[in-house]
Each structure stands twice: as C-alpha cells, then as structure tokens.
Amino acid sequence: MTARPRSLTDDLGTAVHLQAPPRRVVSLVPSITEALAVTVPDRLVGATDWCTHPAGLDVVRVRGTKNPDRTAIEALHPDLVVVNREENRQLDVERLRTAGVPVWVTVIESVDEALASLHRLFDDVLDVGTPSWLSAAAHAWSGAAPLPPTRVCVPIWRDPWMVVGARTFTGDVLARLGLENVWAAGDERYPHRELAELQGAGLVLLPDEPYAFTAADGPEAFPGTPTTLISGRLLTWYGPSLATARAELTAAIRPAING
C-alpha cells in the first residue's frame, strides 16, 4: 500500500506536511536523539554534538543546538528535523523550512507534556506506535510523590549563579517527587541569583550538566546546607531515561533528606 501525504500539526500548532512517515530524521535535541536512536535507529541520520546518548551513536554530527550547521542538515536530505522550543532557535526553524525541510517543533515543560509530545512523535508522525520505554515512563510517573516535602534549590551554573525557576521540565520533575523548588514562584525560567540568596534552601541539588558540578566544585559554596550531587540527565532529559528517572532520583535524594 502506498503511503498517502499527511498534514499534522506540531506542538506549536504549525502544520507539517509529510509525504509519508519520515525515514530520514535529524534531531537537534539530545533527549529526542536518544529516544530515536533507541526506538528507530535506522531512521536517525543526524544529530548535534551535544547528543551523547546512547554511547557510541554513529550518525552525522551537525554542530550544536543553538548553532546547527544548516548546510550539513540539508545535505542529509532529511524527511524531518525534530527540534524543541526551549533548546533550539526559531531562526533556524524558519530558515530550514524556507529551504524546504520539514521541521517538527516540540514543547516540553512538564512530565505530562513530555509523555504526550513523545507519544505524538512516535505514534502519529513516525507511525511506529508507542515505544515500550515510553509506556514504562508513563506508569512510573503516575504514582504519588515518593519523597517528603522538602525545599530545594537547583543551580545549573555558577559565576554567575543560575538556578531552575518557573515553568520548566526540571521543576515539574521536582514537584512530582514531592520537592518544593524555592524559585518556582517567580517569572523567570532560569533566573540569575546571588550566591547568598541560594543558601536558604533545605537541600541543594547540584547536577552535572549543563555546569558540571563535582564534589570539589559546588558543595563548598553552601556551608551548613545539605548538598547532593545528582545526574543532570535524570533531571532534564525526557527520553528513555524517563522510565527509570523517578526511582533513581528518589534513591539519590532520600539519604540527604533523612540526614
């Protein structure tokens, strides 16, 4: 049976016209790159330099999320380029579309949005159904919060200090774990703050990305405040890691709360 052209709308409501389910896909989003590589490895032909999972991924690299090499992307003749509103630039989306490249924009600021957006990508766009890891993730995040209410602060950069703020995927992950992000009530998604402002939380979580906090670089800035080094991938990625992130984060954070 010959596939018929379809017109779908991405997470921003923009129509994306496809002649058939895409067979050559470029991803400019690390989380989605991993999801594609695990689920439809034969269709992924290009990814950014920041796409580090799965290990050993062998596809054409098209530079970064904020400065993709559009010429290299076009040379791959993709049926679809997948981007994210937060991670990628609208300018690149517009220029790729002007060049005739179909672009699918995802919008993911919560766990529910991640589950819904990825379901649409794999089921509606790629026409491969719901991956088993995505079903497992939906089940894993459906339960009650596993941790006791605790005020937390999550720096993502230092010098200057930046923290996770309002309307972010990471903030929703924290809330679903039972944690209270002290900066969730503001207007900024990733506000700059003075170090002294960050020292009143009950617990400081120090991820290894985008800034690579380590035992020797981070905890010393918070004397008297419990700190925990945490996987940034578990806090910020919404691909296959979602299936185990809830349990792994709970196991990593609970000891610091219990003292």
pLDDT of residue 3: 60
In three state form, how does the secondary structure of the chain look?
CCCCCEEEECCCCCEEEECCCCCCEEECCHHHHHHHHHHCCCCEEEECCCCCCCCCCCCEECECCCCECHHHHHHCCCCEEEEECCCCCHHHHHHHHHCCCCEEEECCCCHHHHHHHHHHHHHHHCCCCCCHHHHHHHHHCCCCCCCCCEEEECEEECCCCEECCCCCHHHHHHHHHCEEECCCCCCCCCCECCHHHHCCCCEEEEECCCCCCECCECHHHCCCCCEEEECHHHHHCCCCCHHHHHHHHHHHHHHHHHC
- Are both 97 and 154 inside the same structural domain? no
- Are both 10 and 113 inside the same structural domain? yes
pLDDT of residue 6: 80
Assess if residue 46 is contained within a domain: yes
Assess if residue 136 is contained within a domain: no
Domain boundary at 130, 159, 175, which?
130
- Are both 118 and 180 inside the same structural domain? no
Assess if residue 1 is contained within a domain: no
- Are both 167 and 66 inside the same structural domain? no
Assess if residue 142 is contained within a domain: no
pLDDT of residue 4: 65
- Tally of structural domains, the chain: 2
pLDDT in tens, 1-52: 446 678 899 999 999 999 999 999 999 999 999 999 999 999 999 999 999 9
pLDDT in tens, 67-109: 999 999 999 999 999 999 999 999 999 999 999 999 999 999 9
CATH of the domain at 236: 3.40.50.1980
For residue 33, what are the domain limits?
A: 6-130
Assess if residue 137 is contained within a domain: no
- Are both 12 and 97 inside the same structural domain? yes
121 pLDDT more than 70 = yes
Domain boundary at 130, 159, 181, which?
130
- Are both 42 and 156 inside the same structural domain? no
Assess if residue 32 is contained within a domain: yes
